[in-house]
Amino acid sequence: MKTAKVNGFEITKEAVGFELDRLVRFYMSHGMSMEEVRNNLPRLQEKALDQAIGARLLLERSTQLDIALSGDDIDAEVVKVVEQVGGEENFKKALAAQNITEEVFRKELEKGARVNKLVEQACSSVEEPSEQDVADFYEAHKAEYVTEAKVLCQHILVKVEPSSTSDEKSAAFEKICAIRERIVAGGNFAEEAKVHSDCPSGREGGSLGWFGRGMMVPEFDKAAFEMKKGDVSGVVTTQFGYHIIYKADEQPSVAQTLVDVHDQIKDLIRHEARGKAVDAFVAELREKAEIEFTGE
């Protein structure tokens, strides 16, 4: 992975990973599937590095400017963090686990708060998206606003290791076939999973919850989506071994209306407009900075 130094400061892989995680969560909350994330990963990694560089430049610039912050500003940020971690006790445990004092933590929050104020200044001229903006965006991207088809499944796995002998593979196959025969004859799938599945999901009766296309290995994915609701599959072979699948329910892909996605689109337009404003500001900072890239 490509890395960089900004004015002599090394952008760590952790910093890039943090930005990548934020990007993935944002785009997935706006309709990007896991498969699309995987297909776009190189582009997202490049963008994450750019954002990490930008974050460093903003931090440097925010320390150079006299941005007014009050104790109340920092108190408000601390309150947000305490709420996020589930209360004061958890907050103190988290500080102890990281071996830092609240004073040190508040100083780090102060840095972030200064950056946030600098970003707000850079975005001060960005207008809120109009209803027409939202409607136009929806019309231009209507095909993208379709709920993902999902299935609700349980499975039982009899694991086969890559190093397994032919006899071991045959024994595993006979075991999964015997389990399937008992289930088809009226046996309880969940109980069989609890007793015989080599997957951790066995403890939950083999439940995998709801999942969309591309979230499972290809052979499993194909079988799960081609099955009828209420059916038990034949033996499905994957890199992990032999499976049988019970399809409990399914949700078809459905087109979303403008009402369904109005707030989501408005948030996306706002995010992109603010992103352009911040990018323009960071571009000015980059022109004056010394940035060295290493790696591929």
Every domain of the chain and the residues it spans: 3-142+258-294, 150-251
Residue 224 neighbours by CB under 8 Å, 6+ apart: 151, 153, 211, 216, 233, 245, 247
pLDDT per residue over 90-139, tens digit each? 888 888 988 889 888 888 888 888 888 899 999 999 999 999 999 999 99
CATH-assigned architecture of domain 3-142+258-294: Orthogonal Bundle (1.10)
Contacts of 81 (CB under 8 A, 6+ apart): 91, 109
pLDDT band (50, 70, 90) for residue 73: confident
Please tell us whether the domain made up of 150-251 is placed in CATH 3.10.50.40. yes
Q: What is the mean pLDDT of the chain?
A: 91
Identical fold, 3-142+258-294 and 150-251: no
Calculate the CA dihedral of residues 281, 283, 289, 293 and round it to 10 degrees: 140
Determine the Cα–Cα distance for residues 142 and 258; give it in Å rounded to an integer.
9
The per-residue pLDDT for 296 is 62
Q: Is the pLDDT of residue 260 over 80?
A: yes
Which pLDDT score is estimated for 1? 65
- Contact between 205 and 188 under an 8 Å Cβ cutoff? The reply is no
What's the whole-number mean pLDDT along residues 163-174? Answer: 95
* CA nearest to 157, candidates 235, 227, 258, 218: 235
pLDDT at position 147 is 86
Tens of pLDDT, residue by residue over 207-217, are: 999 999 989 99
C-beta separation of 189 from 183 below 8 A: yes
Measured N-to-C along each axis, helices 41-64 and 102-122 cross at an angle, to the nearest 10 degrees, of 100
Q: What is the dihedral of CA 201, 204, 208, 210, to 10 degrees?
A: -160
- Terminal-to-terminal C-alpha distance of the chain: 6
More confident position, 228 or 146: 228
Lowest mean pLDDT among 36-40, 50-54, 233-237, 266-270: 36-40
Q: pTM (2 decimals)?
A: 0.58
